[in-house]
Chain A
Amino acid sequence: MMNLTRRSALAGVAAVAASTGLAACATAGGGDDDKVKQGDTSAENPLGVSADAALEVVIFKGGYGDQYAIDAGTSLKQKFPKVVIDHKGIQGVGEVLQPRFVADSPPDVVDNSGAGRLDLATLVSAGKLTDLTALLDAPSLDDPSKKFRDTLMPGVIEDGTFDGKPLVLNFSSVLWGVWYSKSLFAKHGWTFPKTWDEMLTLNDEIKKAGLQPWTWQGKYPEYLNDPLVSLAAKAGGFDLVKSIDNLQPGAWQSPAMLAAAEAIYQLAVRGHIMPGSEGLSHTEAQNAWCKGQVAFIPCGSWLEGEQQAVTPAGFDMVMGTVPALTGSDKLPDGAVMAASSESFIVPAKAKNAPGGLEFLRHLFSQKVARGFAESAKALPVVNGATDGLNLSSGLGSVAAAVKAAGPNVFSYKFRTWYAPLSKAVDDATGELATKRINPQQWAERVQKAADAVAKDSSIVKHQR
Chain B
Amino acid sequence: MRHGKYRFLAGSLIVPLTLYGVFVLSPYLQAFQLAFTNWNGVDSAPVFTGFDNFSKLWDDPLFLAGLRNNGLMLLVVPLAVIVLALALAAGTRGTKVYRVVYFFPQLLSVAIIAVLWQFVYTPNSGLLNGALSALGLDSWRQSWLAEPNLALWCVMAVMIWSSVGFYVVLFSAAMESVPGDIMEAAAIDGAGPVTVFRRITIPLIWESVQVGWIYLGIAALDGFALVQIMTVGPGGPDNSTEVMGLGLYRTAFTFGKFGYASAMGVAIFFLTLSIAVLLLRVTKRERVEMA
Point out residues on A near B: beta carbons under 8 Å. 13, 16-17, 20, 22-23, 25-29, 94, 98, 101-104, 116, 118-119, 121-123, 125-126, 128, 218-221, 274-276, 278-281, 284, 288, 419-420, 423, 426-427, 430-431, 434, 436, 458
Q: Which of B205-252 contact A (CB under 8 A)?
A: 232-233, 236-239, 250
Cross-chain pairs A/B with CB under 8 angstroms, 16 sampled: A16-B17, A16-B25, A22-B30, A25-B33, A26-B34, A27-B37, A94-B253, A221-B233, A274-B124, A276-B124, A278-B123, A279-B144, A279-B232, A281-B118, A281-B122, A431-B237
Q: Contact mask B138-174 → A, CB, 8 Å, 1/0?
A: 0000011110100000000000000000000000000
Query: Which residues of the partner chain A approach B46 to less than 8 Å between Cβ atoms?
Result: 27
Report if B43 contacts A (CB, 8 A).
yes
B1-60 interface with A by 8 A CB criterion: 17, 21-22, 25-26, 29-30, 32-34, 37-46
Residues from chain A with a CB closer than 8 A to the CB of B260 are: 458
- Cβ contact within 8 Å between A104 and B40: no
Residues of the B chain whose Cβ atoms lie less than 8 Å from the Cβ of A281? 118, 122
Inter-chain pairs besides A22-B26, A458-B260, 17 sampled, C-beta below 8 Å: A16-B17, A17-B21, A22-B25, A23-B26, A23-B33, A25-B30, A26-B30, A27-B34, A116-B253, A219-B233, A278-B232, A279-B122, A279-B145, A280-B123, A281-B118, A427-B238, A431-B237
The A interface, classified by DSSP as helix, strand, loop or mixed, is loop
A350–B119 alpha-carbon span in the complex (Å): 46
Is B255's CB within 8 Å of the partner chain A?
Answer: yes
In the complex, residue of chain B having the shortest beta-carbon distance to the beta carbon of A219: B232
How many Å lie between the Cα of A103 and that of B30 in the bound state?
A: 16
CA distance A118 to B233 in the complex (A): 20
B177 CB within 8 Å of chain A: no
Q: Which residue of B lies closest to A120 (CB)?
A: B256
User: Separation in Å of the B1 CB from the closest CB of chain A?
Assistant: 25
B249-291: CB near A (< 8 Å → 1, else 0) gives 0100111110010000000000000000000000000000000
Residues of B within 8 A of A102 (CB): 41-44
Counting CB contacts under 8 A, is B102 at the interface?
A: no
* B171-188, CB < 8 A from A: none
Chain B residues whose CB sits within 8 angstroms of the CB of A94 once the complex forms: 253
- B121 touches A (CB below 8 Å): yes
B124 close to A22 (CB less than 8 A)? no
A103–B255 CB distance below 8 A: no
Interface contact A430-B40, CB-CB below 8 Å = no
A430 B233 Cβ-Cβ under 8 A: yes
Bound complex: CA A13 to CA B18 (Å): 11
Residue numbers in A under 8 Å from B238 (CB-CB) = 427, 430-431, 436
Closest chain A residue, CB of each to CB of B27? A26
A430 B232 Cβ-Cβ under 8 A: yes
Question: Which residue of chain A lies nearest to B143 when distances are taken between CB atoms in the complex?
Answer: A279
Count A-B contacts at CB 8 Å.
131
Return the chain A residue nearest B234 by Cβ. Answer: A219
For residue A428, which residue of chain B has the nearest CB? B238
Which residues of A lie under 8 Å from residue B38 when comparing CB positions? 458
Residues 104-139 of chain B: 1 if any A CB is under 8 Å from the residue's CB, otherwise 0?
000000000000001001111100000000000000
Q: Which residues of A contact B21 (CB under 8 A)?
A: 16-17, 20, 22
Asked whether, in the complex, the Cβ of B143 is within 8 Å of the Cβ of A27, the reply is no
Considering the chains assembled together, what is the distance between the CA atoms of A419 and B256 in angstroms?
9
Cβ–Cβ contact A458 & B232, under 8 A? no
Provide the residues of chain A in CB contact with B118, threshold 8 Å.
281
The number of chain B residues touching the other chain, given as a range, is 35 or more
- Residues of A within 8 Å of B143, CB to CB, are 218, 275-276, 278-279
A27-B45, A121-B256, A419-B256 in contact; A126/B146 too (CB < 8 A)?
no
In the assembled complex, the CB of A457 is this many whole angstroms from the nearest CB of chain B, namely 10
**A103 and B239 form a contact (CB under 8 A):** no
Chain B contacts for A458, CB-based, 8 A = 38, 257, 260
Please state if B257 and A430 are interface contacts (CB–CB under 8 Å).
no
Task: Kindly report which residue of chain B lies nearest to residue A29, judged by CB atoms.
Answer: B44
Given contacts A22-B29, A23-B29, contact A279 B146 (CB under 8 A): yes
In the complex, residue of chain B having the shortest beta-carbon distance to the beta carbon of A458? B38
Q: With A and B bound together, what is the CA distance between A29 and B45 in angstroms? A: 7
Contact B236 A430 (CB under 8 A): yes
- In the complex, how many angstroms separate the beta carbon of A377 from the nearest chain B beta carbon? 27
Which of A13, A276, A419 interacts with B255 by CB under 8 Å? A419
B61's nearest neighbour on chain A, judged by CB, is: A452
- Chain A residues near B44: list those with CB within 8 A: 27-29, 102-104
Q: Contacts of B42 on A, CB cut-off 8 Å? A: 98, 101-102, 118, 122-123, 126, 128
Contacts of B236 in A (CB 8 A): 221, 427, 430
What's the nearest-Cβ distance from chain A to residue B143, in Å?
Answer: 4
In the bound assembly, the distance between CA atoms of A20 and B143 in angstroms comes to 54
Measured CB to CB, the nearest residue on chain A to B144 is A279
- A126 with B43: in contact, given A16-B17, A278-B143, A280-B123 (CB under 8 Å)? yes
Report Cα–Cα, A125/B171, bound state, in Å: 55
| Interchain nearest-CB distance for B278 vs A (Å) | 15
Assembled-state Cα–Cα distance A394/B283 (Å): 63
Query: CA–CA, A102 to B45, complex, Å?
Result: 9
Residues of B close to A221: CB separation below 8 A: 232-233, 236
Chain B residues within 8 Å of A126, by CB? 40, 42-43
User: With A and B bound together, what is the CA distance between A29 and B32 in angstroms?
Assistant: 19
Partner of B22, one of A22, A103, A420: A22
Chain A contacts of B37 at CB under 8 A? 27
Q: Are B41 and A119 in contact (CB under 8 A)?
A: yes
- Residues in B whose Cβ lies below 8 Å from that of A284: 122, 124-125
Q: How far is the CA of A29 from the CA of B46 in the complex (A)?
A: 11
* Chain A positions within 8 Å of B121 at CB level: 279
- Chain A positions within 8 Å of B148 at CB level: 436
* Residues of A contacting B25 in the complex (Cβ-Cβ under 8 angstroms): 13, 16-17, 22
- Closest A residue to B53 by beta carbon equals A458
- Nearest Cβ on chain A to B158's Cβ, whole angstroms: 15
Rounded to whole Å, the gap between the CB of B31 and the closest CB of chain A is: 9
Query: With a CB–CB cut-off of 8 A, which chain A residues contact B26?
Result: 17, 22-23
Closest 4 CB pairs of A and B: A276-B123, A29-B44, A122-B256, A279-B143
